[in-house]
Amino acid sequence: MTAYDYDLFVIGGGSGGVRAARVAAALGKRVAIAEEYRFGGTCVIRGCVPKKLLVYASQFPEHFEDAAGYGWTVPKADFDWPTLIANKDREIERLEGIYKRNVEGAGAETFHARAELVDRHTVRLAGENRTVTAETILIATGGRPAPHPALPGHEHCITSNEAFHLAQLPKAIVIEGGGYIAVEFANIFHGLGVETTLVYRGAEILSRFDMDLRRTLHETMERKGIRILCHAVSEKVERRPDGRLDVTVSGGEVLVTDQMMLAIGRVPNTEALGLEAAGVRTAKTGAIEVDDYSRSNVDNIWAIGDVTNRVQLTPVAIHEAMCFVETAFKGNPVAPDHDTIATAVFSQPEIGTVGLSEDEAAKRYPELEIYRASFRPMRNTLSGRDEKMLMKLVVDAATRKVLGAHVLGPDAGEMAQLLGIPLKAGVTKDDFDRTMAVHPTAAEEFVTMYKPSYVVRDGRRVD
Ligand code: NDP
């Protein structure tokens, strides 16, 4: 028995914090977890989960259109935003309850309070006017949308946080950014009938993905009616007398809109956490600096998830939580493995990707074989939808190892999850070739691309 109130105190009840608290408590450790807002954190409350529900909602107009080719007559459909938001909120509340019950069920104590460090073993619970002590402290406070103070009129803008709770669906929206959130929300709003403009400072949206997919997604989104301005930034946002907004973009064009949404990245939640008092070091970005095992410079204080700004993805935070528990409580040091993480962008069409893009691989390997297929998925034949699916394998010519697998099209996220396993295991293209197809599926294309579409030698494409 230690002299501390708890073996582990977790600050932050999101995906990472809840997982660590639950698993440590199940080991018989005396655990407490504090959450100042709602259990579930960004992913459950105002991120991945509600976003996916909005994605589903926004896909219905295309499903209704596609139905005609299959013989259905669909009467004119009406959409009610408040109904969607209320139903979404009910589901989020249900999940929030499950998160809290699971952690309590494992034996952890929960506090609905903001927690701040007083020193390396002491935590103050704001509002409860008391302090508690713990032998080990885990910080899992996540992040929040990056503000944009340099943009005149930024106070008129919303972020993804507010997008989930707008009182009414805007007629028009401008979205700043070209990453996951900007692209996903552009498709959501467009699907729901909102006139949507994306303003992105770079040459092509989704800078971290394979160029082929980026270009094809860009073209498809434009064909659907989303306006995408690349090499552009918003320069000012002004409220008009009629309540709408004027957004002036570089080049001088003024976009008249109802909402302006900033999706320019996320920043770690480390302000006023008492990190200085406890002696915890942070990077320039505000992120807590940790070693390979998620331990900060103060040896009893650890940090996982977005607050460490390593890879801002829910499954990564959960994996880091599991590694933390192994290391700190099971005497089995395990460093989280951040290599070859499968990921999806829930754009329309979706992107699913794992491993290296062609351009990244070309920088690291002298010769690549690229297997590429672009085709109309069967579902789009009778519906007449003019949207192609794109699949691509990036292979190291010397070893035949598959370095990257990329999909653009329906269910790409589901495919990326499964492709993540063989790529993590280090499979070769020959393993793909030996695998029997599942027919008729779109995914079968991955095991039937026998001949390289082209070769990339010393960074140059050779047809
Ligand atoms: P991203 O990092 O994906 O994208 C940020 C975008 O904003 C980039 O296009 C960036 O441009 C641009 N940008 C940055 N600063 C400025 C600026 N000052 N002015 C104009 N544009 C700017 O962040 P998001 O906010 O989209 O999402 C945050 C994170 O959340 C993601 O990185 C991802 O890890 C996670 N997430 C994951 C999802 C999923 O798994 N499906 C869904 C949503 C979020 P540039 O490219 O030039 O840097």
> Is the CB of residue 391 less than 8 Å from the CB of residue 445?
yes
Whether the predicted pLDDT of 44 surpasses 60: yes
Q: How many angstroms is it from 185 CA to the middle of ligand 1?
A: 12
Whether the predicted pLDDT of 455 surpasses 60: yes
Domains for the chain: give ranges and CATH numbers: 6-143+267-329 (3.50.50.60), 154-264 (3.50.50.60), 343-462 (3.30.390.30)
pLDDT tens-digit profile of 397-406? Answer: 999 999 999 9
Atom of ligand 1 nearest to the CA of 344: 41
CB 346 less than 6 A from any atom of ligand 1? yes
Q: Cα–Cα distance between 373 and 371 in angstroms, integer?
A: 7
Whether the predicted pLDDT of 58 surpasses 60: yes
DSSP label at residue 288? B
CB 186 less than 6 A from any atom of ligand 1? no
CB 177 less than 6 A from any atom of ligand 1? yes
* pLDDT score of 2: 73
Most informative mutation of 157, 233, 266 for ligand 1 (most atoms within 8 A of CB):
266
pLDDT tens-digit profile of 369-402? Answer: 999 999 999 999 999 999 999 999 999 999 999 9
Q: What angle do CA 67, 69, 74 make, to 5 degrees?
A: 35
Q: Cα–Cα distance between 380 and 346 in angstroms, integer?
A: 19
Residue 70, helix vs strand vs coil: helix
| Torsion angle of C-alpha atoms 103, 109, 112, 114, degrees rounded to 10 | -110
pLDDT tens-digit profile of 158-186? Answer: 999 999 999 999 999 999 999 999 999 99
CB 175 less than 6 A from any atom of ligand 1? no
Average pLDDT over residues 2-31: 97
* pLDDT score of 181: 98
Q: Cα–Cα distance between 339 and 424 in angstroms, integer?
A: 8
pLDDT tens-digit profile of 95-126? Answer: 999 999 999 999 999 999 999 999 999 999 99
Q: How many angstroms is it from 145 CA to the middle of ligand 1?
A: 9
* pLDDT score of 127: 85
Q: pLDDT grade, residue 1 (50/70/90)?
A: low
What average pLDDT is seen over the chain? 97
Q: Work out the percent of the chain whose per-residue pLDDT is above 90.
A: 99
Place of tokens 């320019």: 264
| Torsion angle of C-alpha atoms 65, 60, 377, 397, degrees rounded to 10 | 150
Cross-strand partners of 106: none
Residue 285, helix vs strand vs coil: coil
pLDDT tens-digit profile of 314-327? Answer: 999 999 999 999 99
* pLDDT score of 86: 98
Q: Cα–Cα distance between 456 and 463 in angstroms, integer?
A: 8
Query: Measuring from atom 22 of ligand 1, which residue has the nearest CA?
Result: 264
Q: How many other C-beta atoms lie within 10 A of the C-beta of residue 117?
A: 23
Whether the predicted pLDDT of 211 surpasses 80: yes
φ, ψ for residue 185, nearest 5 deg: -70, -30
CB 154 less than 6 A from any atom of ligand 1? no
